[in-house]
Chains A and B, each alone.
Chain A
Amino acid sequence: MSEAPIDRSRYQCPYCATTFDTFDELKSHVIAEHKTEPLRRPEGLITLTINGEAYEVLVEPNWTLYYLIHDKLGLTGAKMFCDRGACGSCTVIMEGRPILSCMTLAIECDGMHIETVEGIARAGHPLIELYVKHHCMQCGYCTPGFVVTAKALLDRNPSPTEEEVKKALAGNLCRCGTYPQHVKAVLEAAHEMASLSEVEEG
């Protein structure tokens, strides 16, 4: 994200009006230049890394991670389907694990590294093109959740068996019934990535 939603004026020094990108910079400045007590960190201010980009945002305690990334940051690949942790459509990867962003409070994600489908696509992960090739989407609403879950699987298990793929994706619901195609795409992605890394190693 080139335009991280940082409100620069929020970190204006109350003594000399200099502005800062982050709260920590302001804090250091106040201590160093004005020799005063450090300012209290605003409640609800969290920093997190999403798709490799740093974000610093003020969140309400009731915001879910889904609400933050979908409604506030505009990463709309995470979808609201079941609204209750039943379908996997809002899946993102946090610290390497696929998690349900609708069941995670944003305020608890301070310091976390998060990967969304947008990041996976931008990185050119082979899953995306193989999803297109194998028609893994019909209406497409649940598709990003599958992609993210599958990517997390391949990260931790680069050569899964068919059964392992099914088990990993069994928590993702698809009303159109695209299920058989995901297995094909994920297995082919694993194969493709293995060949690629062989070439690289060779």
Chain B
Amino acid sequence: MIEDIKEMPNNPMEHDKFIPDTFNILGKRGIRRIDGFRKASGTATYTRDVILPGMLYARWLTCPFANARIISMDTSRAEALPGVRAVLRYDDPEIHGRRIPTLHGGEEDILAGYAYFQGQQVGAVVAADTEDSANEALKLIRVEWEERPFVLDAREALEPGAPLTRPEWWPEGNLLPLFFQPSSFFRFGDVAQGFKEADKIIEFKARRRYHGCSDAEPLSGITRWEGECAELWLHHQHPYEHKWMMNMWFGMPMSKVKINSPYNGAMFGGWNWIDYGMVPQYVSALLAKRTGRPVKWIFDRRDDFTFGSLDAMESEFKVGVKKNGTISAVKIKSFFANLSFEAGLHFLENSRVPHVESETLVAQVNKGPVMAIRCEQLPPCFAFTHVCNHVAAELSMDPIEVALKNDGADGQDMTQLEEFKRTHGFPVRDSLRECIDAGKKAIGWDEKWHPPGTRKLPNGRMHGLGFMWDHEWDENRGAGAAGLMIQQDGAVSIIALRSDVGVNAESTYCSIVAEELGMRYEDVFLRQQDDVHLPLMTPDGSCNLTTNGYVMKKLAKRGKQKLFELATTTVHLIERDIPPAFPNMRPEDLDIKDSVIYAKEDPSIRKTVAEVVKDVTGSFVQKHEYGAIQNTTHEPVYVWAYHRQGRLGKEPGRQRLCRQAHFCEVEVDIETGEVEVTKVVNVNDVGKAMSPETVEGQQYGGTYMGVGRNRSEEYVWDPQTGVLLNGNLIDYKMNTMLDVGPIETIIVETGLGLGPYGSVGIGEDVGNDTTYLLHGAVYNAIGTWVDDGPITPEKVLKALGKAEE
């Protein structure tokens, strides 16, 4: 058993070596969700719900202009308003000109006297007895602004003579240094050579408009001080890291910071990664210190529209392709607004395209910050899908054929991947082909596929069929730690702090422990909200289960060992010895199933875990409660485990082996330009589905998000004033129940993942991929491209020549 633990793969290139032949819990349907009743009955608590005695509410002044500086500010009337307890000004001596360190090595203004987009938090924060009083006080603040010219478009911002979009931050110009990428050129192979080898050169442009998170629970957080100790309530993905932040901000030991991480109303990254996302928590801590009261900072729905997704981009493509559909070269030039992620990446990680060059230019524009919102892979999905779509169309090929012709990695075909599978302990299966076979059948591809713009339905609309493919995000990185304790009644507690991001994680972690430990599922519990100082991998952005799953496996193996040792060890009390539950046996003589320990040789010799772990003097039973509390007879069954799984997601030589494919059917009304999505089929090879319902949840859930983004989600600014016009959920259109036809979800399980039991994560990829799913389908319907997402009716009509540019 100890050997098992030692050999558990730390090297993320290896296949999990410890996969049982049969499973009792994992992979089964109908495992009751741990958070289900609490969430359905309204008793699950979110940070937004937390109200502490004496709590103040902090609200920010926001800038009415797209680019402006405060000349002077009069807060006297706000300060005089009854119920206002503090007004923090940008020129406050304690914070004036100061920037604070934030997560991920950044730093940020605490409260600036200038703003770079309309709606930016700026100038003043009011803390008052009620939210209403704080809002009222904000209206009483008089500001003299210096309005400055602004730029909303990335290309315009990079033109010579463009106004400075962030004059204090970047006085030298609007071109930003790259954050995620080492250089503005991403290259492999030699594109010139690739174009020479091509039979055909294809050139086109595509664009994606700025969209956002629309997370369900508006942002908030609380700080309360008890003397030198601080307690935080966080609606944030990185709870443990806030201890570090408090250490850096206030010079306090991390041991004096307590974190509460209640349930999170839909996060998807975004805010958690923006440096500015740390500032409100700092401000609440500062104001709580000054006022001696707990301070809750609150963003309203409009404030939540402060940030967006990092695929606000426009790209020029040049693609070299051979007659048989093999892509020989891809050249991309992309203009991003405010932040970028490498658009060419999936050609390297997911195709045999040998020559790629991708240039990235990022301009600061006068819009809010952008970040990974389910997730940073949006730009590569955008580029990969548009290129595959256009290649198929130009060659009049079935896009599925193009996919199979180009699947691979590192510019090499499937031979390399098959060799990797063989040498690293994976089954040699063709994931993409399995996904495609399942999906084609489900959507009826062979019967329905037709040349573009050729199938008019009886209802007068044009029918379109769409397809896209990608690898699964086998990010598989990071580290987690957790404890496990078997309580005296036999209940198993997983002890770890994490944030509730992802779906049904608590149940899945408990399932792994129950499966591996031999406990009944209902005997294992995790309350991830509690600060127990052991940080599980909480979404670093992309991976949880694949890392934490290994932590759970290790915990269960260690817990089992410890339990069997207790069951076979005599307890030496001062006055007497108490024989073990299983006398004259060694730990290796025992096994456990359904929370009952039994002798392997004679399973009729059995005791429940509760009987084994209880206080062995039985003092509770003898009504000697004092003795039980003061004098437990043996050390608790407590173990802990740590697991590190890779470093950055994909070290050199490590391959992503699982694939996904998505199919859709649309009907386009050529009179109104409306695109109706009548069917979607998601096929995901997740390697091993530990909780099938959860996997499906990420599939249809991601599709609702992605299709909404592809069809209607977009922030709209007034070009004259730079004011965001639709910062609310009436005018910013996310999908409702009626907006997507039936979604069929298919799970493929090849075991080709690098995570435990051969799994990969699935939280981000469907939402990401389906953000670009409809472009091919709309082209197939109307025979002309709408390469500008979202695909609004207006753009469809323009593409059809029925509306003016």
- The interface residues of chain B lying within 8 Å CB-to-CB of A139 are 216-217, 263-267, 500
Stretch at the interface among B333-341, B698-706, B788-796: B698-706
Q: Does B109 contact A (CB under 8 A)?
A: no
- Contact across chains for B730 and A84 when beta carbons are under 8 A apart: yes
- Beta-carbon contacts of B501-541 to A below 8 Å, as 1s and 0s? 00110000000000000000000000000000000000000
- Beta-carbon contacts of A112-150 to B below 8 Å, as 1s and 0s? 000011101100000111011101111111111001000
User: Would A175 and B216 be within 8 Å (CB), given that A77-B42, A137-B40 are in contact?
Assistant: yes
User: Would A89 and B216 be within 8 Å (CB), given that A170-B737, A173-B736 are in contact?
Assistant: yes
- Contact across chains for A177 and B35 when beta carbons are under 8 A apart: no
- Contact across chains for A82 and B39 when beta carbons are under 8 A apart: no
Interface residues of A in 171-202 (CB under 8 A from B): 171-183
Interface residues of B in 182-231 (CB under 8 A from A): 214-218
Contact residue among B39, B40, B264, B704 (Cβ-Cβ distance under 8 Å from A177): B704
Stretch at the interface among B45-53, B165-173, B415-423, B452-460: B45-53
Q: Does B493 contact A (CB under 8 A)?
A: no
Report the minimal beta-carbon distance from A87 to chain B, rounded to whole angstroms. 6
A77 to B42, alpha carbons, bound, how many Å?
4
Q: Does A166 contact B (CB under 8 A)?
A: yes
Q: Does B83 contact A (CB under 8 A)?
A: no
- Contact across chains for A178 and B49 when beta carbons are under 8 A apart: no
Contact residue among B45, B216, B263 (Cβ-Cβ distance under 8 Å from A81): B216
- The interface residues of chain A lying within 8 Å CB-to-CB of B132 are 62
A13 to B564, alpha carbons, bound, how many Å?
70
Question: Among the interface residues B40, B43, B729, which one has the most CB atoms of the partner chain A within 10 A?
Answer: B40
Q: Which residue of B has the minimal Cβ distance to A134? A: B693
Question: Among the interface residues B32, B37, B268, which one has the most CB atoms of the partner chain A within 10 A?
Answer: B37
Q: Which residue of A has the minimal Cβ distance to B737? A: A179
A134 to B51, alpha carbons, bound, how many Å?
31
Question: Among the interface residues B37, B266, B728, which one has the most CB atoms of the partner chain A within 10 A?
Answer: B266
User: Would A79 and B266 be within 8 Å (CB), given that A128-B37, A179-B704 are in contact?
Assistant: no
- Contact across chains for B217 and A131 when beta carbons are under 8 A apart: no
- Contact across chains for B728 and A144 when beta carbons are under 8 A apart: no
- Contact across chains for A140 and B35 when beta carbons are under 8 A apart: yes
Report the minimal beta-carbon distance from B715 to chain A, rounded to whole angstroms. 16
- Interface residues in A, total, Cβ within 8 A: 56
Q: Which residue of A has the minimal Cβ distance to B34? A: A132
Question: Among the interface residues A135, A175, A176, A182, which one has the most CB atoms of the partner chain B within 10 A?
Answer: A175
A182 to B503, alpha carbons, bound, how many Å?
16
- Contact across chains for A141 and B265 when beta carbons are under 8 A apart: yes
Q: Does B289 contact A (CB under 8 A)?
A: no
- Contact across chains for B46 and A79 when beta carbons are under 8 A apart: yes
Report the minimal beta-carbon distance from B263 to chain A, rounded to whole angstroms. 6
Q: Does A169 contact B (CB under 8 A)?
A: yes
Contact residue among A83, A132, A176, A182 (Cβ-Cβ distance under 8 Å from B701): A176
- Contact across chains for A141 and B42 when beta carbons are under 8 A apart: no
A143 to B301, alpha carbons, bound, how many Å?
19
Q: Does A31 contact B (CB under 8 A)?
A: no
User: Would A76 and B704 be within 8 Å (CB), given that A132-B32, A175-B216 are in contact?
Assistant: no
Contact residue among B41, B266, B704, B730 (Cβ-Cβ distance under 8 Å from A118): B41
- Beta-carbon contacts of B730-765 to A below 8 Å, as 1s and 0s? 100011111010110000000000000000000000
- Contact across chains for A144 and B700 when beta carbons are under 8 A apart: no
- Contact across chains for B701 and A177 when beta carbons are under 8 A apart: yes
Contact residue among B33, B268, B503, B700 (Cβ-Cβ distance under 8 Å from A180): B700
- Contact across chains for A132 and B216 when beta carbons are under 8 A apart: no
Interface residues of B in 623-677 (CB under 8 A from A): none
- The interface residues of chain B lying within 8 Å CB-to-CB of A173 are 216, 729, 734, 736
Q: Does A86 contact B (CB under 8 A)?
A: yes
Q: Which residue of A has the minimal Cβ distance to B51? A: A71
- The interface residues of chain A lying within 8 Å CB-to-CB of B42 are 75-78, 116-118, 121, 143-144, 147
Q: Which residue of A has the minimal Cβ distance to B41? A: A121
Q: Does B5 contact A (CB under 8 A)?
A: no
- Contact across chains for A121 and B216 when beta carbons are under 8 A apart: no
Q: Does B579 contact A (CB under 8 A)?
A: no
Q: Does B44 contact A (CB under 8 A)?
A: yes
Report the minimal beta-carbon distance from B374 to chain A, rounded to whole angstroms. 10
User: Would A135 and B217 be within 8 Å (CB), given that A118-B42, A169-B737, A177-B702 are in contact?
Assistant: no
A175 to B214, alpha carbons, bound, how many Å?
7
User: Would A135 and B48 be within 8 Å (CB), given that A118-B43, A140-B35, A169-B737 are in contact?
Assistant: no
- Contact across chains for A138 and B697 when beta carbons are under 8 A apart: yes
- Contact across chains for B45 and A140 when beta carbons are under 8 A apart: no
Interface residues of A in 146-172 (CB under 8 A from B): 147, 166-167, 169-172
A70 to B694, alpha carbons, bound, how many Å?
30
Q: Does A50 contact B (CB under 8 A)?
A: no
- Contact across chains for B697 and A117 when beta carbons are under 8 A apart: no
A82 to B265, alpha carbons, bound, how many Å?
12
- The interface residues of chain A lying within 8 Å CB-to-CB of B697 are 135, 138, 176, 178, 181
Question: Among the interface residues A117, A143, A166, A169, which one has the most CB atoms of the partner chain B within 10 A?
Answer: A143
Contact residue among A76, A84, A144 (Cβ-Cβ distance under 8 Å from B301): A84
Q: Does B427 contact A (CB under 8 A)?
A: no
Contact residue among A84, A144, A167 (Cβ-Cβ distance under 8 Å from B41): A144
Q: Does B589 contact A (CB under 8 A)?
A: no
Contact residue among A76, A116, A147, A174 (Cβ-Cβ distance under 8 Å from B49): A76
Q: Which residue of B has the minimal Cβ distance to A77? A: B42
Contact residue among B40, B263, B301, B704 (Cβ-Cβ distance under 8 Å from A136): B40
Q: Which residue of A has the minimal Cβ distance to B220? A: A80
Report the minimal beta-carbon distance from A162 to chain B, rounded to whole angstroms. 11
Q: Does B106 contact A (CB under 8 A)?
A: no
Q: Which residue of B has the minimal Cβ distance to A60? A: B132
Q: Which residue of A has the minimal Cβ distance to B49? A: A76
Q: Does B425 contact A (CB under 8 A)?
A: no
- The interface residues of chain A lying within 8 Å CB-to-CB of B49 are 70, 76, 79
- Contact across chains for A117 and B729 when beta carbons are under 8 A apart: no
- The interface residues of chain B lying within 8 Å CB-to-CB of A174 are 216, 704
- Contact across chains for B46 and A141 when beta carbons are under 8 A apart: yes
- Contact across chains for B36 and A138 when beta carbons are under 8 A apart: no
- Contact across chains for B40 and A135 when beta carbons are under 8 A apart: no
Q: Which residue of B has the minimal Cβ distance to A171? A: B736
Q: Which residue of A has the minimal Cβ distance to B503? A: A138
- The interface residues of chain A lying within 8 Å CB-to-CB of B703 are 177
A178 to B217, alpha carbons, bound, how many Å?
16
Q: Which residue of B has the minimal Cβ distance to A142? A: B216
- Contact across chains for A135 and B216 when beta carbons are under 8 A apart: no
- Contact across chains for A117 and B301 when beta carbons are under 8 A apart: no
- Contact across chains for A87 and B729 when beta carbons are under 8 A apart: yes
- The interface residues of chain A lying within 8 Å CB-to-CB of B264 are 139, 141
- Contact across chains for A135 and B705 when beta carbons are under 8 A apart: no
Report the minimal beta-carbon distance from A72 to chain B, rounded to whole angstroms. 9
Report the minimal beta-carbon distance from B769 to chain A, rounded to whole angstroms. 14
Q: Does B489 contact A (CB under 8 A)?
A: no
- Contact across chains for A135 and B693 when beta carbons are under 8 A apart: yes
- Contact across chains for A82 and B301 when beta carbons are under 8 A apart: yes
Interface residues of A in 80-101 (CB under 8 A from B): 80-87, 89
- Beta-carbon contacts of B104-147 to A below 8 Å, as 1s and 0s? 00000000000000000000000000001000000000000000
- Contact across chains for B728 and A82 when beta carbons are under 8 A apart: yes
Q: List 22 A-B contacts (CB under 8 A).
A: A70-B49, A75-B42, A77-B41, A79-B46, A81-B301, A118-B43, A121-B37, A121-B42, A129-B37, A133-B32, A135-B696, A137-B35, A137-B36, A138-B701, A139-B216, A139-B217, A139-B500, A140-B44, A140-B263, A172-B737, A177-B703, A178-B700
Chain B interfacial positions (CB closer than 8 Å to A): 30, 32-33, 35-46, 48-49, 51, 132, 214-218, 263-268, 300-301, 500, 503-504, 693-694, 696-697, 700-705, 728-730, 734-738, 740, 742-743
Additional A-B contact list (5), CB under 8 Å, known A139-B264, A141-B46, A176-B697: A81-B216, A81-B218, A127-B40, A140-B263, A177-B700
CB-based closest 6 A-B pairs:
A77-B42, A177-B704, A140-B39, A141-B265, A132-B36, A121-B41
